[in-house]
Amino acid sequence: YLTQEQTYSRKFTEAMMALKLDNRMSKDEILEGYLNTSWFGRGTYGIQRAAQAYYGKDVSGLNASEAAFLASLLKGAGLYDPTLSANNRARAVERWRWTLDRMVEIGRLTPEERAGYRDFPEPLESNPLYNTGEQSDYLVDLDTQYAKKAAHVSDKDFDRGGYQIYTTFDKKRVDELTKSVNKARDEARKKNPEAAKHVHYGAASVAADGRILAIHGGPDHRKQGYNESNATTVRAGSAFQPFVYAAALEHGVRK
């Protein structure tokens, strides 16, 4: 993963990485991989789990309207989940309408089909199954990744269930670490509010024997999916833009 520095050299590196990936995989394969690993909010990565979390159905059962809403979450699930705030709902509806209209423009929907989607496809209320707490989901993500890797279990096999995972997390340590990080964040905001907007906080408490006792992955897993204490969850971000533009050009999109 690249750093978050905003430089021309980083953008150039992203472009080179995109070209190499494009030479090895088809556009459909790249898009499939992106959708299967992207953060959609509600503790979910991947379009299949997102479909379950927001609509209680498999991705194959989504209609165009529901799919258009889920696509909007890729811009930032914490900003577009309509159940989190009124502002979120307004953004989600606006983006949903834009997506459907755009699908008509590029020939993915007919005007008649678009006319049938007048009402916003309200997702299910937040499901406790996917929202176990501000820090709990970060802990679940971390131990799930480790368990799959250590036991050489595929995502498909893991999703079938039946596994028992024992962790070394200590709730008291997690709570104390969260308090410490929140205190540091509040102090930074008081000293320099503008600079504090761009600061991210990740922390971990590790015992002398290597046991991970606590982590702080971010302010709230429902609003920020990537784990600040685990770099492997950093989103692709603008590195994916070259693939979007290339796919658009292949399909004749010029504006």
What are the CA-CA distances from residue 154 to residues 44, 67, 113, 138, 158 (Å)?
Answer: 17, 26, 39, 20, 6
Instruction: Report residue 35's pLDDT band, with 50, 70 and 90 as the boundaries.
Output: confident
Distance CA 201, CA 217 (A): 8
Q: Of residues 246 and 27, which shows the higher confidence score?
A: 27
CB contact set of 72 (below 8 Å; sequence gap of 6+): 80, 92, 95, 96, 99
Distance CA 226, CA 223 (A): 9
Instruction: Report residue 96's pLDDT band, with 50, 70 and 90 as the boundaries.
Output: very high
Instruction: Report residue 62's pLDDT band, with 50, 70 and 90 as the boundaries.
Output: very high
pTM of the model: 0.54
Residues comprising the chain, all counted: 255
pLDDT for residue 23 is more than 80: no
Which runs of E-coded beta strand occur in the chain? 39-41, 44-45, 203-206, 212-216
- Segment 65-74 shows an average pLDDT of 94
pLDDT for residue 1 is more than 60: no
Do the Cβ atoms of 138 and 70 come closer than 8 Å?
no
**Measured distance between the N- and C-terminal CA atoms of the chain, rounded to whole angstroms:** 31
pLDDT in tens, 168-213: 989 899 889 989 988 988 998 899 988 888 787 778 888 888 898 9
Helix and strand counts by DSSP (H, E) for the chain: 12, 4
- Segment 58-76 shows an average pLDDT of 93
- Segment 103-115 shows an average pLDDT of 94
In the chain, domain spans: 132-235
Query: For position 117, what pLDDT does the model report?
Result: 96
**Residue owning tokens 């368990």:** 147
Do the Cβ atoms of 121 and 53 come closer than 8 Å?
no
Percent over 90 (pLDDT), the chain: 27
Query: For position 132, what pLDDT does the model report?
Result: 53
pLDDT in tens, 209-238: 889 898 888 776 666 666 776 655 455 555
